[in-house]
């Protein structure tokens, strides 16, 4: 059978055996009137008063929005939100729009214009967060390892914080959205490295679908609440990027409601593990680089047999990206086992080590191949095997494994999180 894998800004069609178990998100229709549903959510939020009651004539307002690596429909959501604020007396001069880049690169002016629309970038103050600029950060106590809990000054000093984003299962934070807009979205590098440290990443609770009891998510929420009261405006999306739900209101309560909604469409039970799993990183923008690609690997890893094979299709138009902290870290070792041992050594700390740690943890259980636009030597430098032809590779694997081998495909990658029935 032919299966269309999400890849870049289109699809990659591959030929897979008829017995392949294809796991997709459950169908979730878009809202018939997204804007009307937003306005209703702002007027009847979860766990707090309507957003208009948070506003005052001179209030400083910080709207935090996701960066270019996220599929959040900023260009639709933000004009509706801004119009609502203006309707209730807020002027453009009161507003700062803060790009929650976390440890990612800043977005260019052209990218911001594409993400937000020219009407926003020319009328409002739009700024990138820089996690290493200490002068831009304010401390709110310390993390659980004693590192300062640093948050961007624009968010920290605002009278009204509005956290936008979208909710999907996250490979070590349980679900995205919610407190992630502040921590790690606009947090300091040292703070993020502490929260994403090797001990937390290796916790069995730091995985898809688990928030409470997950040491990473618990601390994200704790630090975000120290900053003060924030109004959450999260969405859920289907694979067409239509908005399927709005979750607005008090940070923790609104996020809980959204996670419960997303769990129903995005998490799928299977009866037994698979010998071979073909997965993606859900296409653009999440498969822009290999740093994000570990999410697609992680989705497949939830159902792979020990010693099985994962094939990831991710365009990686930006490479890893080259020269990034993760790129440099992967190049320090010749094998996944060597790198994993280094990361686990006492006192080791490296920016973005969590991506390499999760990748190499997966590689202790499975072989991982990558189909991408990257040159083969760059794929091997990232400690992965190139896969130029997915269909041919699957045929070769099944010839080796025999006709009883179990095969699954995740055409939308981490938009579908499978788990094995207990």
Quick one: average pLDDT of 177-184?
Answer: 98
Is 170 part of the annotated catalytic residue set? yes
Of 11, 19, 86, 104, the active-site residue reads: 104
pLDDT at 92: 97
Report CA-CA distances (Å) from 371 to 8, 24, 291, 316, 374: 12, 20, 14, 9, 8
pLDDT of 141 over the 90 cut: yes
pLDDT at 403: 81
Can you name the residues that pair with 270 across neighbouring β-strands?
Answer: 420
pLDDT at 26: 87
Please state, in angstroms and rounded to a whole number, the distance separating the CA atoms of residues 100 and 128: 7
Residues 153 and 70 grouped into a single domain:
yes
Length of the chain: 422
pLDDT at 364: 95
Domain count, the chain: 2
Residues 291 and 226 grouped into a single domain:
no
pLDDT at 204: 94
pLDDT at 2: 97
Residues 249 and 354 grouped into a single domain:
no
The last residue of one of the domains, among 265, 283, 305, is 265
At residue 117, what are phi and psi to the nearest 5 degrees?
Answer: 100, 145
- Here the CATH number for the domain that contains residue 158 is 3.40.50.11440
Hey, is 165 helix, strand or coil? strand
Taking Cα atoms as reference points, which of 366, 333, 358, 284 lies closest to residue 115? Answer: 284
How big is the CA angle at 181 (ends 98 and 415), to the nearest 5 degrees? 120
pLDDT of 198 over the 80 cut: yes
Please state, in angstroms and rounded to a whole number, the distance separating the CA atoms of residues 347 and 387: 36
Is 255 part of the annotated catalytic residue set? no
pLDDT of 50 over the 90 cut: yes
- 384 or 347, which is more confident: 384
The last residue of one of the domains, among 235, 265, 295, is 265
pLDDT tens digits, one per residue of 108-135: 999 999 999 999 999 999 999 999 999 9
- Here the CATH number for the domain that contains residue 332 is 3.90.226.30
Hey, is 195 helix, strand or coil? helix
pLDDT of 69 over the 80 cut: yes
Hey, is 35 helix, strand or coil? helix
Please state, in angstroms and rounded to a whole number, the distance separating the CA atoms of residues 162 and 353: 30
pLDDT at 404: 87
pLDDT at 263: 94
Residues 85 and 154 grouped into a single domain:
yes
- For tokens 């095969």, the residue is 407
pLDDT of 345 over the 80 cut: yes
Residues 239 and 352 grouped into a single domain:
no
Residues 9 and 80 grouped into a single domain:
no
pLDDT tens digits, one per residue of 271-291: 999 999 999 999 999 999 999
Compute the half-sphere exposure of residue 16: CA atoms within 13 Å on the CB side of its CA: 24
Of 11, 19, 129, 170, the active-site residue reads: 170
Please state, in angstroms and rounded to a whole number, the distance separating the CA atoms of residues 306 and 351: 29
pLDDT at 352: 87
pLDDT at 347: 86
**Structure token pair of residue 157:** 């000093």
Residues 139 and 18 grouped into a single domain:
no
pLDDT tens digits, one per residue of 300-336: 999 999 999 999 999 999 999 989 999 999 999 999 9
Residues 12 and 51 grouped into a single domain:
no
The last residue of one of the domains, among 230, 265, 300, is 265
pLDDT of 298 over the 80 cut: yes
Report CA-CA distances (Å) from 240 to 106, 175, 282: 26, 20, 11
Residues 233 and 275 grouped into a single domain:
no
Lowest mean pLDDT among 170-184, 299-313, 348-362: 348-362
Domain that holds residue 19: 2-26+271-420
Please state, in angstroms and rounded to a whole number, the distance separating the CA atoms of residues 128 and 103: 11
Quick one: average pLDDT of 210-220?
Answer: 96
pLDDT at 96: 98
Say how far residue 88 (Cα) sits from the centre of its chain.
Answer: 33
pLDDT at 233: 98
Residues 252 and 296 grouped into a single domain:
no
> What's the chain's average pLDDT?
96
pLDDT at 315: 98
Report CA-CA distances (Å) from 395 to 273, 275, 314, 344: 19, 13, 20, 37
Please state, in angstroms and rounded to a whole number, the distance separating the CA atoms of residues 168 and 177: 7
Q: How confident is the model at residue 223 (pLDDT cuts 50, 70, 90)?
A: very high
Residues 251 and 353 grouped into a single domain:
no
Residues 79 and 142 grouped into a single domain:
yes
Quick one: average pLDDT of 137-141?
Answer: 98
């Amino acid at each position: 059978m032919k299966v269309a894998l999400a890849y870049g800004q289109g699809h990659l069609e591959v030929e897979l055996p008829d017995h392949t178990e294809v796991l997709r998100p459950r169908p979730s229709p878009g809202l018939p009137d997204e804007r009307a549903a937003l306005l209703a959510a702002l007027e009847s939020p979860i766990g707090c008063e309507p957003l208009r009651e948070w506003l005052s004539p001179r209030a400083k307002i910080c709207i935090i929005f996701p960066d270019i690596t996220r599929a959040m429909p900023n260009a639709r959501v933000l004009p509706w939100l801004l119009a609502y604020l203006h309707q209730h007396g807020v002027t453009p001069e009161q507003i700062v729009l803060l790009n929650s880049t976390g440890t990612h690169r800043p977005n260019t002016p052209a990218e911001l214009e594409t993400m937000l629309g020219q009407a926003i970038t020319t009328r409002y103050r739009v700024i990138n967060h820089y996690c290493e600029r200490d002068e831009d950060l304010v401390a709110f106590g310390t993390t659980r390892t004693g590192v300062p809990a640093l948050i961007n000054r624009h968010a920290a000093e605002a009278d009204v914080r509005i956290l936008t984003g979208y909710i999907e299962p996250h490979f070590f934070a349980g679900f995205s959205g919610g407190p992630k807009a502040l921590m790690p979205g606009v947090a300091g590098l040292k703070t993020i490295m502490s929260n994403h440290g090797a001990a937390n990443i290796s916790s069995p609770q730091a995985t898809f679908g688990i928030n409470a009891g997950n040491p990473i998510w618990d601390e994200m929420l704790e630090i975000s609440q120290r900053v003060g009261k924030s109004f959450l405006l999260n969405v859920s999306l289907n694979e067409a990027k239509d908005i399927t739900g709005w979750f607005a209101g008090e940070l923790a309560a609104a996020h809980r409601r959204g996670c419960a909604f997303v769990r129903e469409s995005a998490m799928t039970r299977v009866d037994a593990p698979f010998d071979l799993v073909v997965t993606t990183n859900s296409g653009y923008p999440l498969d822009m680089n290999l740093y994000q690609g570990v999410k697609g690997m992680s989705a497949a890893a939830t159902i792979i047999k020990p010693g099985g094979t994962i094939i990831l299709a991710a365009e990686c138009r930006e490479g890893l990206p080259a020269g990034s902290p993760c790129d440099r870290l992967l190049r320090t070792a010749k094998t996944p086992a060597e790198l994993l041992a280094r990361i686990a050594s006492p006192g080791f700390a490296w920016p973005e080590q969590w991506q390499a740690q999760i990748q190499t943890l997966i590689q202790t259980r499975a072989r991982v191949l990558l189909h991408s636009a990257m040159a083969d030597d760059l794929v091997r430098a990232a400690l992965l095997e190139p896969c130029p032809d997915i269909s041919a590779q699957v045929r070769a694997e099944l010839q080796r494994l025999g006709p009883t081998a179990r095969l699954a495909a995740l055409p939308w990658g981490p938009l579908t999180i499978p788990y094995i029935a207990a």
